[in-house]
Amino acid sequence: QVQVVESGGGSVQAGGSLRLSCVASRYTVSFCMGWFRQAPGKEREGVAAINTGRDSAYYADSVQGRFTISHDKAKNTLTLQMNSLKPEETAVYYCAAARRWCLLASWNRTGVFDYWGQGTQVSVSS
């Protein structure tokens, strides 16, 4: 069964850190994995993505330098380390996997990804 499951969300004060994890089942073909987020009333936006096995990573400008995405190929586990969090980053964070390599021009498009997790809430208070 294809499955992508996130964990690690929670509440933190502004400036704090959180670490999100995502495990993809062994049936999930995932050349690229990524994190998206969606705040109430807003569209889902790409946060970061990584080509598994190649470790080429992409970041949204707004998180560059503060967030780090990584992938453990043996465990097929994706991690997002989030530092210096801001209140405006409060959202539901989704893990996604794609059956193709991500590209610089399109990694942040939801249509690139084939499998999605249920999402995990991240709340940042001021």
Q: Measured between alpha carbons, how far is 91 from 76 in angstroms, rounded to an integer?
A: 24
Report the percentage of the chain scoring pLDDT > 90.
84
Q: Measured between alpha carbons, how far is 81 from 25 in angstroms, rounded to an integer?
A: 21
Q: Measured between alpha carbons, how far is 109 from 90 in angstroms, rounded to an integer?
A: 20
Q: Measured between alpha carbons, how far is 70 from 55 in angstroms, rounded to an integer?
A: 8
pLDDT at 78 over 90: yes
Task: Name the nearest CA neighbour of 92 among 115, 121, 124.
Answer: 121
Token pair, residue 71, equals 């992938």
What is the arithmetic mean of pLDDT over 49-76? 93
pLDDT tens across 87-117, in order?
A: 999 999 999 999 999 999 999 999 999 999 9
pLDDT tens across 2-21, in order?
A: 689 999 999 999 999 999 99
